[in-house]
Each structure stands twice: as C-alpha cells, then as structure tokens.
C-alpha cells in the first residue's frame, strides 16, 4: 500500500464479495491506513462493494438490510467513517431493484459513502438503476466491470451507453483472469471446449507477446496499456501480489498509446477470443 501511494496511486479497491479473506484484507487496509496514511485520507479514493459472493443471507444480497449491515461491517474493519465509492455488486433478481437503489441512496444520506456505483450489472439494468437513483437525488457515478483484450467484443454499445449517461467505467480484470500473462503456469485451466489448450489461442497469445516486445513491454503491460488508453475507461483496477508487478502496472498505465496499425493488428488477433470470457 505504501509503495503504491509513493508511486502516485491513491485509489484502493476493497471488497466483501471475493472469499473468506476479504474481511482480513479490509482489516489490514485499516491498520496501514490509520498508522501511515491517515494524514492523507482526503487525497485517497477508497471503494468497497457488497453483493454476490458474500455469505448468503435470508434477506438476499440486494436487500436494504444486507447492504446496510455489510457497509457498516466494512467501515468498522477499516476504521473509516465513510468510503468514497460504494458498489452494489451483481444484480439480485430476487430483490426489487428499487430496494437495492434505495439502500445505496440511504448510505449517501447517512454520510457512510460519498458516491455510489454498480458492479457487473447487466446492461439492461444500468439505465433503470440510474433513473431510480436520480429520483432519489443521488447520481450513479460509476460502473465497475471487466474489459480486456479478450473481453472487448460486444462492449461498444455498453461504452456508448455509459458515456451518454455520464457514468464512468471502472475497468476490472485487464489480464482476463491471468490468461494474458507471460507466466503460462498461472493461467487458469478453462473447460469450455478446451479453449486454453487450443492451438489458435496459443498462437494469438504468442503474436500478442511479440507485439508487446516490439513496444518494449511484456504482454501484461501491453494488456493494461490497451485498456487504460481507451477513451471510455475512467480507471483500471489491477490486482498485484508484489512490488515488481505494481511497478510494471504503473509503467504500463502511463505508457504511450497505440498506432492505428497496432490497434488493427490487435483486433485481428483477438477477433475470435470472445469465448474466453469468464
């Protein structure tokens, strides 16, 4: 965290939706924040999310009760009075969308978050969520969802919708679950038609690695650069487990854009990879 802050990173993305260790991560974040970064709180953008993936409750993950209690637990673990952005993660079909949006608006009214967003919502529900929040006097500021070299197809309409609505796209999973990685042993095994082991995909990855090398980058860096340079992307959430990975991601995010020829080549290489979506 401190190394990231020294590198100019001021946005930290937390979660209660990604497994049993999330509470520990929030607690560790709170310890480091209060010990070392508390004087800089006003410069930090801290976000968290609640929803699908958390322990199931009778009320449902999209209910007002569950959302309110989850946010309070996150604030207690981090030692924060508020978070900057609070996301509802995944649309809950068993709970009226009106109730979920009311829960988000209530968090703003109570001063427990400054802005609200939605994460991994179907495009058909984004406009409805924005309208409901607008009626409650709270703007929908951000959509959090995946976007990568292998997850781009069919996303133009979504990008246009978000842009027209004034909603920022916070991009996640720029390495497509580790598939766009030089460390092939870390790539997950995909079962759908044995895609991961297919000759076609391996060839495309090799071509992308060659293009990255010509740009003076690793394939990971090029993948992050490609996402960050899209005009409709407001920010990129990058998961790292070492300072080296963090440094490489910072360099990638600040790197030069792509020429028309490079973009055309990338589109040609990845045109048949839409089936790699997680």
Chain segment 104-113, per-residue pLDDT in tens: 999 999 999 9
SS3 label, residue 214: helix
pLDDT per residue as tens digits for the range 147-185: 999 888 678 899 999 999 999 999 999 998 888 887 544
pLDDT at 242: 92
Task: Indicate the pTM of the whole model.
Answer: 0.88
Confidence of residue 278 (pLDDT cuts 50, 70, 90): very low
- The arithmetic mean of pLDDT across residues 219-231, rounded, is 94
At CA 141, angle to CA 137 and CA 147, rounded to 5? 150
pLDDT at 192: 45
pLDDT at 255: 86
pLDDT per residue as tens digits for the range 129-153: 999 999 999 999 999 999 999 888 6
Contact partners, residue 238, CB within 8 Å, separation at least 6:
174, 224, 249, 253
SS3 label, residue 116: strand
- The arithmetic mean of pLDDT across residues 216-238, rounded, is 94
pLDDT at 185: 43
pLDDT at 85: 98
CA distance 115 to 20: 26
Contact partners, residue 36, CB within 8 Å, separation at least 6:
1, 2
Q: What is the 3-state secondary structure (H, E, C) of 11-57?
A: EEECCCCCCCCHHHHHHHHHHHHHHHHHHHHHHCEEEEEEEECECCC
Confidence of residue 275 (pLDDT cuts 50, 70, 90): very low
More confident residue, 75 or 255: 75
């Amino acid at each position: 965290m401190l190394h990231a802050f020294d590198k100019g990173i001021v946005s930290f993305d937390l979660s209660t939706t990604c497994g049993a260790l999330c509470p520990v991560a929030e607690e560790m974040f709170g310890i480091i924040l209060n010990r070392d970064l508390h004087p800089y709180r006003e410069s930090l953008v801290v976000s968290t999310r609640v929803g699908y993936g958390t322990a199931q409750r009778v009320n449902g993950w999209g209910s007002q009760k569950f959302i309110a209690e989850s946010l309070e637990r996150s604030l207690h673990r981090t030692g924060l009075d508020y978070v900057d952005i609070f996301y509802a993660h995944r649309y809950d079909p068993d709970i009226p969308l009106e109730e979920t949006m009311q829960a988000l608006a209530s968090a703003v009214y109570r001063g427990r978050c400054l802005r609200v967003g939605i994460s991994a919502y179907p495009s058909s529900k984004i406009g409805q969520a924005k309208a409901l929040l607008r009626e409650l006097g709270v703007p929908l500021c951000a959509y959090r969802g995946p976007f990568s070299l292998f997850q781009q197809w069919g996303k133009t309409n979504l990008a246009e919708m978000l842009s027209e609505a004034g909603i920022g796209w916070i991009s996640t999973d720029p390495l497509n679950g580790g598939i766009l990685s030089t460390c092939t042993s870390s790539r997950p095994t995909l079962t759908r038609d044995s895609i991961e082991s297919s000759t076609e995909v391996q060839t495309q990855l090799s071509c992308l690695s060659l293009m990255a090398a010509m740009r003076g980058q690793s394939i990971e860096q090029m993948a992050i650069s490609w996402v960050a340079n899209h005009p409709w992307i407001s920010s990129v959430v990058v998961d790292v487990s070492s300072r080296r990975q963090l440094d490489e991601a910072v360099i990638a995010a600040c790197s030069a854009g792509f020429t028309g020829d490079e973009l055309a080549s990338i589109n040609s290489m990845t045109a048949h990879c839409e089936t790699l979506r997680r």
